[in-house]
Structure 1
Amino acid sequence: MKYKINKNQISVLLPETSILNFTTVVVNCLSEQKNINIYVISNFEFPELRHSNKISNFSYYPKTKSESEWLTNIEKELKKFSIDFIIPIDVYSIKTLIKNRNNVSFSNKIGLLPDFNSFNIANDKSSLAKHMLKNNIPFPKTFHYSKEELLENIVDRYPILIKPITESEAGEGIVKFNDFNQLKSFLLNNELSFSYIIQKYIVGYDIDCSVLCEKGKIVVFTIQKGILSGKTEFGPNNGVEFLYAEKLYRVVEKLMKTLNWSGVAHVDLRYDMDEDSYKVIEINPRFWSSLDASLAAGINFPYIYLLKSLNIDFVKPMYNHIKFLNLLGLMKTIRNNKLFIFNLRFIMKYTTMRFYLKDALPFVYLIYNKFRNS
């Protein structure tokens, strides 16, 4: 669905500070609207995105030592290109703009964001568990791990998971243990580089809900379940299926309301087969890697975020119940079924190939860098 901004052209700045590269999928979504000029500022010198025909300019700034320096670089870009609006994408960008929103000259160019306390709760699995316990929101039994604690007394059932308290890259740092001896051996023989939680492993399946909210109310959402696993057990999926689950939606609706959430979030949940319930695993308080899948289903999250932040009316869209494959998922599907390559309608509508064919040069550089570094 197309939406109209009451201006011939609007310019948007995307600050990139994360190696997870969510910027590319945000660009793919925004570029579907012809009246948006996209500018990118990045801490990475050679991302494939600098070669994209979808952006008006790419600026590289080395990683800064302070928030004030990063904010100064943002201000330089805004003035240099007369940019209208900022869409923060990753955790650092969002957190820094929340903290400094009232202290910068460009505060009127910053969109929907949660308050600082809600953001910190969402971004910290231990704090989130306490919040959900207080507000009667279903979640797996969770403990903040300290080396001084006697694990025999706090973990009464296996398997369990150990996870970094804050965001990890593509499931990095998450380990599953089937008994106490495995866990004890791991903790004694590994120098842990993060603060961790210990969480009960739930027999069931992962399912996610992506949302855009304003003051605790969900504006638009999608629910998606993995149908093709990724490289690691706890990393992102290579294929998803969009569906609707009323009980899951009500859980997420309550969670967002109790946080009085504004902005985007990607909520990871797990269906508990023993209790026939959906439990919140964690919140990613930022944009996410499967935005292009949501776009194919009918929800352009970055663009609706822009409209909502600018108080521009739009018809609330509904998402379609489709299946979507990223590039790795498509390659794996073709390997398993050679005839799938002739399913051109699906490939062009419901895989990432639709974006690569429109903007081939970043794809070429992506493949080149993978071979160069392998």
Structure 2
Amino acid sequence: MKTKSKQNIISVLIPDGESHILLYVVNCLAQIKHIDIYVMSNTKYHPMRYSRYIKKFTYYAETSSDLDWIENINKEVKRHSIDVVMPIFESRIKTLIQYRSKIIQQDQLGLLSNIEDYETAFNKNKLTKHLEANQIPYAKCTLVTSFADLDKVNGLKFPVIIKPVEGYGGGQGIFKFDSKDELLAHFKKYPMIYNNIVQEYVQGYDIDCSVLCKDGQILAYTIQKGNMIGTHQFSPQFGVQFQYNKKLIDTVKHIMKSLNWSGVAHLDMRYDAHTDQYKAIEINTRFWVSLEASLLAGVNFPYLYCLSSLDKEFIAPEYKVIDFLNLKGLIKQIKKDKRFIVKFNFIRNNTPLKYSLSDPIPTIYKWIWRTKNILKSKINK
């Protein structure tokens, strides 16, 4: 078992604090009194630098050397007697997996998968092949790396969607086409600057599953279905409803076991109305923007990640079946129905507003920074 810090304090180092996910992770960890949060970042004036919940925010200039980044982690681990090193975003999770042997204090590393399984889950084309090989329901697709490859789509049923093979979260780079002519017209107009997969569009609805795993076993999970569309069809939802679904979680268990997954993941699933199956669309191999939703439902994924990384057992939490609105969703709902503003219990218990109010300086800094940039852009026009 790993050694705890003095006085039962758990010291956590987030080594990729430049990520936009940092806000949600910190808000979750801040709910636990016996956690000290340390952050490394290559963004000097990140809004979260001013969070009252972060014990120490350390800036290191960005470097092209992954080994330099690893050495900085070693410095911080030694300097602050870190118990858990917890990367939160894909690129740096992958780097830490690749160079894990360079971490001096191996016991302080959080849960990580091996590089082969991580790349399989991260790469949408590799994931599809893996799902097919393991007889897990999936959406049929083909890899497209050049305009000439578009002949491969003849084996797919339209409508289809295109998406980057790796990265570009938040719905970026995803488009839907009802015919091959529409697809060809898109690629004639826009250059193919990255590899894509063309995937059959599953007729049904989206439903997601967030998990924490160790050696392929699910330690905690939540299932949530969108109930308020985001900025566009493929972007994160402004609102979700938590629910239980045995058929879906059985499929997810099969997926995570087949990947021998360790760590967190957020699975984008889709219910196929024609086959009555839940199909895996992609896996976000990192923490996710709806962490606060899971927290309000009763599952604190970052904290449970720390416990499991320290080999501490816990009973899998049962989450509440609730509706959740993020701040954009809350504003949208109030604009739609002004009377919603007096639903104090819902706003307090089903939105992240209380987290912003309890740690307001990062939000104020972010607002000032955005306002200055907007004014600057208008002046330069």
TM-score, with structure 1 as normaliser: 0.95
| Aligned-pair CA distance for 1:328 | 0.3
Distance 1:170 1:18 in 2: 17
* Structure 1 match to 2:68: 69
Cα deviation 1:79-135 (Å, max 9, x = unaligned): 232322211101122111111112320221102111111000000000000000100
Measured in 2, the distance between the counterparts of 1:211 and 1:196 equals 26
Structure-2 residue corresponding to 1:253: 253
1:106-117 alignment, distance < 5 Å: 106-117=105-116
Deviation at 1:18, TM superposition (A): 5.5
> Does residue 1:333 correspond to 2:329, yes or no?
no
Match of 1:344 in 2: 344
CA distance in 2, matches of 1:153, 1:268: 23
**Gap regions ≥5 residues in structure 2:** 375-381
Partner of 1:9: 9
Q: Give distance in 1, aligned partners of 2:271 and 2:86.
A: 32
* Distance in structure 2 (CA, Å) of the matches to 1:232 and 1:164: 17
Q: Deviations over 1:354-374 (max 9, x none)?
A: 101110111111222232233
Q: Which residue is 2:232 aligned to?
A: 232
Question: Given the alignment of the two structures, is residue 154 of structure 1 paired with residue 154 of structure 2, yes or no?
Answer: yes
Please say which of residues 294-303 and 185-194 is displaced more in the overlay: 185-194
Identity of aligned residues (%): 43
* Cα distance, 1:169–1:152 mapped onto 2, change above 3 Å: closer
How far 1:146 moved relative to its partner?
3.3
Query: 5+ unaligned residues in a row in structure 1: which ranges?
Result: none
Which runs of 4 or more aligned residues in structure 1 lie more than 4 Å from their structure 2 counterparts after TM superposition?
Answer: 4-7
Q: Which residues in structure 2 correspond to 1:221-370 (within 5 Å)?
A: 221-370=221-370
SS state at 1:56 partner: strand
| Per-residue CA distance 1:9-64 (angstroms, 9 max, x = gap) | 12111122664x11111101111011111011112222210111011011122222
> For residue 24 of structure 2, what is the aligned residue in structure 1?
25
Letter in 2 for 1:45: K
Q: Secondary structure at the match of 2:280?
A: strand
- Tell me the secondary structure at the aligned position of residue 283 of structure 2: strand
The residue type paired with residue 109 of structure 1 is Q
Task: Say if 2:214 and 2:262, in contact at 8 Å, map to a contact too.
Answer: yes
Contact 1:5/1:307, CA 8 A, preserved across alignment:
no
Q: How does 1:123-202 map to 2 (within 5 A)?
A: 123-147=122-146, 148-151=148-151, 154-202=154-202
Aligned length: 370
Shift, 1:149, TM fit: 2.7
RMSD across aligned positions (CA): 1.7
CA deviations over 1:193-220 (Å, ceiling 9, x no partner): 2111000011211110000111111111
Q: Does 1:47 align with 2:46?
A: yes
- SS in structure 2 at match of 1:16: coil
CA contact (8 A) 1:208 1:267 kept: yes
Instruction: Give the letter for the 1:318 counterpart.
Output: E
Q: Deviations over 1:321-362 (max 9, x none)?
A: 011111101100111111111111111111110101110111
Contact 1:5–1:312 under 8 Å retained in 2: no
Q: Does 1:97 align with 2:119?
A: no
Conserved? CA contact 1:205–1:270, under 8 Å: yes
Equivalents in 2 of 1:83, 1:262: separation in Å?
20
1:30 is matched by which residue type in structure 2? L
For residue 131 of structure 2, what is the amino acid of its counterpart? M
Q: Which residue of 1 aligns with 2:118?
A: 119
Between the aligned partners of 2:6 and 2:304, the Cα distance in structure 1 is 14
Q: Letter of the 1:115 partner, please give it.
A: N
Shift of 1:152: 6.5
Q: Does the 8 A contact of 1:38 with 1:55 survive in 2? A: yes
Q: What whole-Å deviation, never above 9, does each CA across 1:246-275 have from its counterpart, x for those lacking one?
A: 111111010001111111110000111222
* TM-score (norm. length: structure 2): 0.93
Tell me, what secondary structure is at the counterpart of 1:355? Answer: helix
Contact 2:11 2:35 in 1 (8 A): yes
1:208 aligns to what? 208
Q: CA 1:153 to 1:264, structure 2 compared with 1: closer, same or farther past 3 Å?
A: closer
> Are the equivalent residues in 2 in contact too, given 1:17–1:90 (CA < 8 A)?
no
**8 Å contact 2:270–2:279 — kept in the other structure?**
yes
Q: Check conservation: 1:98, 1:113, Cα contact below 8 A.
A: yes
Kept in 2: contact 1:220–1:316 (CA 8 A): yes
Instruction: Mark the CA change 1:117 to 1:156 in structure 2 (over 3 Å): closer, same or farther.
Output: closer
Contact 1:209 1:221 in 2 (8 A): yes
Structure 2: distance between partners of 1:326 and 1:138 = 31
Structure-2 separation of matches of 1:99 and 1:150:
34
